[in-house]
Amino acid sequence: GGSDRSVPPKAPQLHVGAKVRARFGATALGAVGTKFYPGTVTRLHADGRADIAYDDGDEEEGVDPKWIAAVAYARPVGQAPVVATEAEGLRLHLSSSSATGYKGVRKDLKTGRFRADRRIVDGKSRHIGNFGTAVEAAVAYARTVGEYQPPIVAAEAEGLRLHLSSITSTGYKGVRERGARFTAEARAGERNVYLGSFDTAVEAAVAYARTVGEYQPPIVAAEAEGLRL
């Protein structure tokens, strides 16, 4: 699970692709009730803040560098692990942000083995086990939490067009699963604004849409330079 330290070490020199440990949610909520989790820097902002894709599949934008702990290691940008989508009759939980390619699975750099953990309702992680390969760890994760099920999402709710996302586990932009509940966050300039915790992903997506405005489909031209596009 994450560390309980309330004061992080000196912020490291960051770069896109750097592997770090960051205190998830602390930028918006402060240290109380938050913990450090491993992740990858996906973007750097002019003010020094960073967007982080966590190894367990969560994402966070505009993380204050004071909540980012020491760099662990770096993987070349664009180098994705080769993963199996199914194993032992189970659909595995994939993650484009995890160094292993699997949600809930990370490699122990000291032992070379793969550790599987699941996030539980109080924000802590529960250790599932250590395994010889990433696939074995991913299978154990799938057996513990259930095999991967593509999210079923509503495009509209409460009269609003919702912001869908093909890269989040909830299927909605700005919405994350936190244990048995769902949180919504919206970007405001260079920081994230916490919108609340909700019983369902749709409720969180509605709160996001009310804050940033409902989704507006892009306007495209049907013709250009005398050609139908």
Domain housing 93: 86-145
> 72 and 90, same structural domain?
no
- Which of 33, 58, 76 is the endpoint of a domain? 76
pLDDT at 80: 52
pLDDT at 3: 47
> 170 and 139, same structural domain?
no
Domain presence at residue 225? no
- Residue 227, pLDDT above cutoff 50: yes
CATH number, residue 199: 3.30.730.10
Torsion of CA 6, 10, 14, 18, to 10 degrees: -60
How do residues 87-131 score in pLDDT, each as one tens digit?
Answer: 999 988 887 667 788 888 988 888 889 999 987 755 577 899 999
Which tokens go with 186?
A: 């919206």
> 200 and 141, same structural domain?
no
Partnered with residue 181 across adjacent β-strands are 178
Domain presence at residue 183? yes
Highest-confidence range of 48-52, 129-133, 177-181, by mean pLDDT?
Answer: 129-133
Integer Cα distance of 186 and 73 in angstroms: 29
> 63 and 13, same structural domain?
yes
> 63 and 100, same structural domain?
no
Taking residues 148-158, what's their average pLDDT? 84
Q: Which residue has the higher pLDDT, 75 or 83?
A: 83
**Confidence at 229, pLDDT banded by 50, 70, 90:** low
* 8 Å CB contact between 60 and 168: no
CATH number, residue 106: 3.30.730
Taking residues 196-212, what's their average pLDDT? 93
> 162 and 138, same structural domain?
no
**Confidence at 9, pLDDT banded by 50, 70, 90:** very low
Domain presence at residue 190? yes
> 45 and 10, same structural domain?
yes
pLDDT at 71: 58
pLDDT at 209: 94
Domain presence at residue 116? yes
> 105 and 56, same structural domain?
no
> 168 and 134, same structural domain?
no
- Which of 121, 145, 169 is the endpoint of a domain? 145
Count: domains in the chain:
3
* 8 Å CB contact between 151 and 175: no
> 72 and 30, same structural domain?
yes
> 172 and 124, same structural domain?
no
Highest-confidence range of 47-61, 155-169, 201-215, by mean pLDDT?
Answer: 201-215
> 11 and 61, same structural domain?
yes
How do residues 51-71 score in pLDDT, each as one tens digit?
Answer: 888 877 778 888 888 888 865
In the numeric block, the tokens 């809930």 are attached to 104
